[in-house]
Amino acid sequence: MPTSTAEHDSLDASTAHVAKTANLVGNDIGARAQAVSFLEQLPEIVLEKICAFLAQSPDQLDLVALDLVARPLFCLARASPALYAIATRALMKWPGHGVSWLMPLDGFGEPDTFAVYGLPSNFECVPGSVAVCTVYGGAATACDQVETVLNQDPATTDPAALAQLAALFRRLEPHAPRVQPASAAWFLITSADPPEGAAINRVQRRQLVRIAPHLIRDLSFHMDVAPLPPFLTRLTISGEAIPMLNERVGVFRNVPKTLRELNMMAAAGWMDKSTLHWMLAHLPRQLEKLTLEAIHLDDQDAAVLALMLPPRLHTLGLSSNDFTATGALSVIAHAPPTLATLDVSENTLDRWGQDAGDMISFLTTPARMDALLAARDACHRVTSLSLCHSFATYPAALTLIVPALPPSLTFLDISNNCLSIETVTALVHRMPPALTHLGVAQCALDAERMEDLASALPWTLITLDLHWNRDLGDAGVAALLRGWKKRGPQFKKLDLRGCGVGDVGVQLLLEELGREVVVHLDGNKDVSDHGQSDVATARPRWTVNQVDPVLGG
């Protein structure tokens, strides 16, 4: 339903009122009540637009703006039951909600205060950040601590307000099952920075907003676990939460049917084989995206995973594990036909066994090529493939992999592998024809190899990542541009950070590339101040700092 001009005018006025004044976050009760009364009279569609404006993505805002944006939304949610549902929905669109535990400190002489355990990292817990919490305690304690949060200032029990709140929860999801345990309640918190000298984080009652579990779609377990909300779509489990899966909660035994994405990562020393095998055996069948990163998957585990892959999976991430090409081929051979994105980076895929004989057989046995070709057939629909840092034992092994690349690829990243002349030649002859992104960062490319590679770049190519090929230099840039003119890729982004480029290469790029192309030249120490000035004047979107913060000086 289109918004009328009058509603647009109200939207503009109300947004300015909410975002630019302190009426909702100040201590003036009269001014706050006046603001709330004004907002309650607006049409619901206008309120939704106000909240959407205030709930901009946190990664697009600085810390000050985060505080200014989040606090009015929290105040809206707490100020009036009529505004609660809309403001809370807007807050829950922010990604990355993490589980924390709240413990009431009333018995320790700190009324209306909670100790907070299991917060995300300090980087994530900035003023205005959002975390999902539960409260420890029995049913009576939880009700006493929880149900006085909304619309209570100071906190008192108001049966009429509680009944109104319960009705709102029912209206949010009228057909949702009532699965919330009596001893746990979900909250949003603004921030919980520890006071100076304090050993634990604390959060005040006024910084909490109760949240219906039916609104939680994206959840992270890092320090602890909790019952899964009934409409969860994305779950991330990492760190110390991993060994608790089977021992304490058995999370996957009651997975909501809405779950589509599961990420498990950064196990470090937490993932034992018992937990891993239990988890593999309980993978939800409805998953469409699965990431198992750095959880010590070996070839035997990969064989088990291959038999348990969900049938509708379209994205599979298996980076930073311990399997070889044997394990990779086990998974690929059983990949569902829906698979489109595969990441097996940072697994030594050319190591077939532990002895030199097995390694050499990879390079010499035709059966290995048959297996690779069979893998290509199994993944003929894959459009995105990452093989970064995967062929460290024998760089020539990548030469044998290239003929097995699925021709359907649009995204290919083989960074951090040494590209020999033989490998480049193989790529020239078997370059996927519809590629839009090619990542060959830190691949020991020089001008000679670049000359050959540039001749095969498909015209569909939009992004080319060459960073940290230190021997590329101005000659490599010239070779790239010669091939670019012949093949005519539709470049939009070119990454040449740390590639030994100087003023000559910069001038060639300025002359040959159109203004629509963005080039990153950070970390090239041979670019003079004059060259940097030329870039700043002619191409302000390019970056050309001599020291790159990622690559180092």
pLDDT the model gives residue 181 = 37
Reference 524, options 536, 510, 506; nearest CA is 506
State the pLDDT at residue 146.
36
DSSP 460: T
What pLDDT is attached to residue 286?
95
As given in the structure block, the two tokens for residue 16 are: 């300015």
The total of other beta-carbon atoms located within 10 Å of residue 306's CB is: 18
pLDDT at 457: 93
Unique residue bearing structure tokens 């020239």: 428
Which amino acid does the sequence have at 279?
Answer: M
**63-79 vs 44-54: helix axis angle to the nearest 10?**
150
pLDDT value of position 185: 65
Q: Which residues in the chain come in under a pLDDT of 50?
A: 1-5, 7-8, 10-11, 16, 19-22, 58-66, 120-130, 136-158, 162, 172-183, 353-356, 359-360, 363
Rg (CA), the chain: 28
Residue among 314, 252, 312 nearest 284 (CA) = 252
Query: What pTM was computed for the model?
Result: 0.80
Domain boundaries of the chain, sorted by first residue: 16-93, 95-149+181-211
- Give the residue among 373, 322, 376, 367 at the shortest CA–CA distance from 344: 322
pLDDT at position 105, please? 75
Backbone φ, ψ for residue 463 (5° rounding): -125, 130
Angle of CA points 135, 76, 159, to nearest 5°: 60
Cα separation of 463 and 360, whole Å? 35
